[in-house]
Amino acid sequence: MQLAISLQEAKGMDSPVSSTFGNSPYFMFVNIDNGFFKIRPNLTKSSAGDTDVHTALMIAENNVNAVISDKLGQKAYETLTAAGIWVYVFLDSIVEEVLQAFRRGKLTPYEPAIIG
């Protein structure tokens, strides 16, 4: 399973989760099965138009099964779920804590009517 996590800084497993999705400076792509990860800069954050949607499309192109972010907009949510990608929210944390919570099934699914 492949996860994408929005990052504020590129510090490996100690990277803080970004408080934004579309304007997140980095994304970590993690293979949850083997632990392999790569961090990439979010090149879509300076795109013209709806940055959340451009970022969601970039995520979908990377064969991701789930996204973990602090928050994201309704259009990004709709774009991701239309691509079959699960969306989870995890607040104020670092990647290592996020992955532990994911493995234990403790992440909160994104709820458009409540969050965002």
pLDDT beneath 50, residues of the chain: 115-116
pLDDT, residue 70, reads: 80
Q: Is residue 32 part of a domain?
A: yes
pLDDT, residue 71, reads: 80
List the CATH number of the domain containing 36.
Answer: 3.30.420.130
Average pLDDT taken over every residue of the chain: 89
Count of domains forming the chain: 1
pLDDT, residue 49, reads: 62
Boundaries of domain holding 25: 2-109
Closest CA to 17 of 88, 77, 95: 95
Model-level pTM? 0.90
What are the pLDDT digits (tens) for 94-104? 999 999 999 99
